[in-house]
Structure formats: C-alpha cells, structure tokens
Amino acid sequence: MTLPPDSTAPAAARHERILILDFGSQVTQLIARRLRESGVYCEIWPFNAAPEARIRAFNPKGIIFSGGPASVTEGESPRAPDYAFASGLPILGICYGQQTLAHQLGGTVEGGHAREFGRAHVDVTGDCAITQGIWAKGAREQVWMSHGDRITELPPGFRVVASSEGAPFALIADDKRHYYGTMFHPEVVHTPHGAQLLKNFTHLVCGCTGDWTMGAFRAEMIEKIRAQVGSGRVVCGLSGGVDSSVAAVLIHEAIGDQLTCIYVDHGLMRAGESEQVVSTFRDRFNIKLIHRDASDLFLGQLSGVTDPEQKRKIIGRLFIEVFEEEQNKLGGADFLAQGTLYPDVIESVSATGGPSVTIKSHHNVGGLPEGMRMKLVEPLRELFKDEVRALGRELAIPEAIVGRHPFPGPGLAIRIPGEVTREKADLLRKVDSIYLEEIRTAGLYDAIWQAFAVLLPVRTVGVMGDGRTYDQACALRAVTSTDGMTADVYPFSMEFLSRVANRIVNEVRGINRVTYDITSKPPGTIEWE
C-alpha cells in the first residue's frame, strides 16, 4: 500500500494539523475542504493506514472519523485504530465514524431501522462545544443524513445534544474526553451550519488557531523547493492550465533561472491561448520558456484518425516525444516539475473495493513521461484546487489563468468528433470564442464549471438572405460541477442562447446551425469524446 503524501513535509509540519481517517465515504474529501477553508491543515488517511508511530509523527491536534458504506454490525467492518482513543486526542465521528466510535467505546449500534437519506431536521436538546454560538437549545435545525444503522445505546460518558425522529442520537458528546459524534454529515452544504460546527470542533475543541494560509504556504514552499532542488535544474511542462501555471510561478520564485518551462503547442488550443501563455510567463514573469509549435506534427499524425481513444493516445505519445526532444536540447535536467494536486494523491478507500471502469483514458498533458529518470518537484501536492487558485492569486497570476475553466489535455481534438483538421480547429476556435465572450459579458463565467463548443460532423441545410446554405452544425455545452465527476446542464435563458446562436451563424462562415447540449453527467460525459 502506498502511503499518502509525506506528512512530515515542512510546509505542513509547521502548522496545526487534524487527521481525517477515511472509512470510504463519497464525501470524505469535503471534510478536508471545509477544514482547510477555516485555515486548518489536515490530511486524509485510510483508516487502516494509521499505525501509532505514524499518527505520533504527524502529531495532529484532533482526529475525525469519516462516514463510510459499511455497517458496524457486520463482523469484518472497519474499525478505528486503538491508538486514536489511547492518544487522548479529541475525536469527531461522522455517520459511520460516529457508529464505530460508539461501538468501540461500548455503545450499541443496530441495523434494520428505516433508512434516512437526504434533508432532515434535528431538535437541539442540549449544548456542547460543537454547537456553541451556532445551535441554541430548543432550536430545530436542518442537516443532511445518509444512514441505515443507528446507535440505540450510548457508550458510557456520552449524552445526546440533538436528535431527529430517525436518529435519536443525531449529535452526541462526551465533554470530558472531547469525543463527539454526528449521525448527519456536517461537511456537505445541505447541512447549512455544518462548516461552523466543524470549525467549532477544530478551533474550540482541538485548539487550532487557523494558521494555514496561502501566504504562509507560499513562503514555506519556496524554502522547501530551494532545499530540495539545490543547484539542480528543473523543467516544467506548461499547459496553460491553472495547476502547471501556479507550480511554474512558485518554483520560479524559489529558484529563478534554474527553471525552464516547456510549452508544447499541439495546435489544438483555444483562440489566443498560446499567445497568452507566452506573454504571461515569458514577458510578465520572466520565466525561461520554450514555446514549441508542434501543430504540423500533431495534426499530421491525427490525419484520418476518428476514434476518440486513438486521438488521445496519439496526442499523449507525441506530447512526450516533443517534450523529451526539447528537454534533450537543453542538455537534460535533474528535476521534473508537476502540478499534481492533493485529490490526485489521496489514497481513498474504495466503496466497492475494486478499480472503477475506465470510461476515457485521461491523458494529462504535462504528466510524467514514463521512463524519464528525473526526480519530481510537486509543490502543490498538499493543495485542493480552490487552494491552488488562492495561491495563484497570491502570486499575482492573472485572473484569466487562475479562474479558467478546466481544459482537457488533448484540447479541441476531442471536441471535433470525427477526423481533426486544421480547418476544423480554426472553425471551432471562432465558434468557441464567441460563445465564451458572450458568457463573460453576461457575467456567467464563474458560475459555470466548463463551457465550450463542439464542431459536429454533420452538414445541414439552412437559409441565409435569399440563398440556401449547406454548412456545418455545432453544439454548445455548459455544465456546473464540483469535481467533474458528475455534472448538470447550465440553465441559460432562451434569450442568451438565441443571442449566441445568432452571432455564431452570422459571424462564422461555415456554420449554419447551433444546438445546445442538455445532457447531464451521468449518463453523458462532459466532453463529447
């Protein structure tokens, strides 16, 4: 089992920390997000990868047990490590975490009760540190529940603070030992005061002060990069996206010209993007940047290829080849910088225990070329995406890059079903930039996770002026999402869509029909290929 990221790393080690033990809930990451938002550094570890020595070395100020899909009434179900209790640290158990807490401390948990799922209301019957200043005794509060089992008998030392019809022990507390448990999920937004309840646990119970800020992270990470790299040379693949951009600027701030960025331009970027990468990094940040226009090579090899996975493979392979070529021209490097984020390195407990089906092989351009024997510099390994954005703002990276929608590594190639040609890419760029311009003008950009146009491989009949047209159709897509795993269609007004469609048909010669994709994910995916 590979262990989660090095928790003794200086950036985190100087901060107060909370340990989250993961029992496999779908929303464990949200606990960490909420804690980080209140300025508390935390890490998620699988419940079974937390031996005493490791917890001691991590030196947390408190421990949270996440929810999970198992039932404590089943023999083989997960348990918290004994040391969690022996440590004397405050503990908060959430859902399954509450049940195993109660069970391991001598309470009784039973299955077979009515399942409670979704919004519920609890009656606050007492008070405790967790509810201080948030929930008053006698109030009725909204929470989000998702459970089948429930506690039927409290362990010694505990009392009830809030209850619902389906969950008489919705919030329990043992003030002496600083143990708390919630049947509901405080980490999800459907528990409106959930973030504050968690903050009370970390700040009031565990004594955290909220010392995790991006300003502090920046200063410490710069020291850490200097210590790691010494006088070595670093290369970084820039993609124009948020992660590689922030990693590059941070590393440059640490080691200056020891860093060279390589931007492999596959010719499938959106309008103006390559120019923006060059002007931002070379001209504004003074970063040594190699801009390799490899569009002929990429488009040449994509010629005649229609299969989406084939396109991804070709682009991935060529990217590595070109990157290596450029890197060899530099005379090699000692380190490869990557914009790896915390969600990529969290070793989650899979609810099913098995690997999930590969729907698409997501080749991340800028990823580690296999066989390259360089050490890695990954300064963002401890951060969530919203923290990377905050760090980017701290580093004065333009908002156009920091707040940018995600863009897939293979670029427009997977937004042109069928064969990709330069002409088609040019046509799509025009459509896409009108669409995005209108979204920005309407002030909707930040409310949308991703918005883009797709060039459809169909020609349709239209009428313009007195003449008949027989041109291509395009589709527009816009979705809201929190992580790209699921997505909902963005509900534009008809008026907005008509305005965009009119502009596209009038301004882009070759397009005579515009459709809006209203498929959510699942069953659709965000991209068309």
> Of the residues 16, 116, 187, 387, which is catalytic?
187
Part of the chain binding ligand XMP (CB under 6 A), chosen from 141-149, 360-368, 458-466, 497-505: 360-368
- Per CB under 6 A, the list member of 192, 215, 256, 406 interacting with ligand XMP is 406
Q: Compute the distance between CA of residue 81 and CA of residue 227 in angstroms, rounded to an integer.
A: 35
The annotation status of 243 as a binding-site residue, yes or no, is yes
Count of residues touching ligand XMP (by CB under 6 A): 16
Q: Is the peptide bond before 523 cis (omega within 30 degrees of 0)?
A: yes
Catalytic annotation on 208? no
Q: Compute the distance between CA of residue 168 and CA of residue 16 in angstroms, rounded to an integer.
A: 34
Q: Is 385 in the site for ligand XMP (CB under 6 A)?
A: no
In the complex, the smallest distance separating the C-beta of residue 415 from ligand XMP, rounded to whole angstroms, is 9
The annotation status of 240 as a binding-site residue, yes or no, is yes
Q: Is 288 in the site for ligand XMP (CB under 6 A)?
A: no
In the complex, the smallest distance separating the C-beta of residue 239 from ligand XMP, rounded to whole angstroms, is 8
- Per CB under 6 A, the list member of 450, 490, 492, 514 interacting with ligand XMP is 450
Instruction: Kindly give, in sequence order, each residue whose CB lies less than 8 Å from that of residue 234, ignoring residues fewer than 6 positions away.
Output: 251, 255, 258, 259, 260, 333, 334, 335, 336, 337, 377
> Of the residues 95, 128, 206, 261, which is catalytic?
95
**x-or-dash pattern for ligand XMP, window 7-46, by CB under 6 A?**
----------------------------------------
In the complex, the smallest distance separating the C-beta of residue 526 from ligand XMP, rounded to whole angstroms, is 3
Helix then strand count (H, E) for the chain reads 16, 20
Instruction: Kindly give, in sequence order, each residue whose CB lies less than 8 Å from that of residue 13, ignoring residues fewer than 6 positions away.
Output: 7
- What is the number of other CB atoms lying within 10 angstroms of the CB of residue 156? 8
Nearest alpha carbon to residue 277 among 456, 119, 398, 194: 398
Instruction: Kindly give, in sequence order, each residue whose CB lies less than 8 Å from that of residue 449, ignoring residues fewer than 6 positions away.
Output: 405, 406, 479, 480, 481, 482, 484, 487
Q: For residues 87 and 114, is the Cβ–Cβ distance under 8 A?
A: no
Q: Is 363 in the site for ligand XMP (CB under 6 A)?
A: yes
In the complex, the smallest distance separating the C-beta of residue 29 from ligand XMP, rounded to whole angstroms, is 16
Q: Compute the distance between CA of residue 90 and CA of residue 248 in angstroms, rounded to an integer.
A: 39
Q: For residues 324 and 333, is the Cβ–Cβ distance under 8 A?
A: no
The annotation status of 420 as a binding-site residue, yes or no, is no
**x-or-dash pattern for ligand XMP, window 466-485, by CB under 6 A?**
------------------x-
Which is nearer to ligand XMP, 124 or 431 (by Cβ)? 431
Show the tokens assigned to 70. 């198992």
Q: For residues 353 and 252, is the Cβ–Cβ distance under 8 A?
A: no
Which is nearer to ligand XMP, 173 or 341 (by Cβ)? 341
The dihedral through the CA atoms of 7, 9, 11, 15 has a sign that is positive
In the complex, the smallest distance separating the C-beta of residue 245 from ligand XMP, rounded to whole angstroms, is 15
Catalytic annotation on 95? yes
In the complex, the smallest distance separating the C-beta of residue 235 from ligand XMP, rounded to whole angstroms, is 19
Q: Is 68 in the site for ligand XMP (CB under 6 A)?
A: no
Q: Is 520 in the site for ligand XMP (CB under 6 A)?
A: no
Which is nearer to ligand XMP, 1 or 359 (by Cβ)? 359
Q: How far is CA 293 from CA 22, 65, 79, 238, 290, in A?
A: 45, 50, 54, 13, 10
Stated length of the chain: 529
Q: Is 308 in the site for ligand XMP (CB under 6 A)?
A: no
> Of the residues 185, 203, 252, 363, which is catalytic?
185
Radius of gyration of the chain (CA): 26
In the complex, the smallest distance separating the C-beta of residue 289 from ligand XMP, rounded to whole angstroms, is 21
Q: How far is CA 233 from CA 29, 191, 229, 322, 441, in A?
A: 34, 48, 7, 19, 43
Which is nearer to ligand XMP, 181 or 367 (by Cβ)? 367
Longest Cα–Cα distance in the chain: 85
Which is nearer to ligand XMP, 274 or 364 (by Cβ)? 364
- Per CB under 6 A, the list member of 25, 228, 364, 472 interacting with ligand XMP is 364
Q: Compute the distance between CA of residue 107 and CA of residue 443 in angstroms, rounded to an integer.
A: 53
Q: Is 312 in the site for ligand XMP (CB under 6 A)?
A: yes
Q: Is 521 in the site for ligand XMP (CB under 6 A)?
A: yes
Q: Compute the distance between CA of residue 411 and CA of residue 430 in angstroms, rounded to an integer.
A: 15
- Per CB under 6 A, the list member of 67, 194, 392, 409 interacting with ligand XMP is 409
The annotation status of 432 as a binding-site residue, yes or no, is no
Q: Is 313 in the site for ligand XMP (CB under 6 A)?
A: no
In the complex, the smallest distance separating the C-beta of residue 487 from ligand XMP, rounded to whole angstroms, is 7
Which is nearer to ligand XMP, 207 or 406 (by Cβ)? 406
Active site residues: 95, 185, 187
Residues making contact with ligand XMP (CB under 6 A): 312, 359-360, 362-364, 406, 408-410, 450, 484, 521, 525-527
Annotated binding site for ATP: 239-245
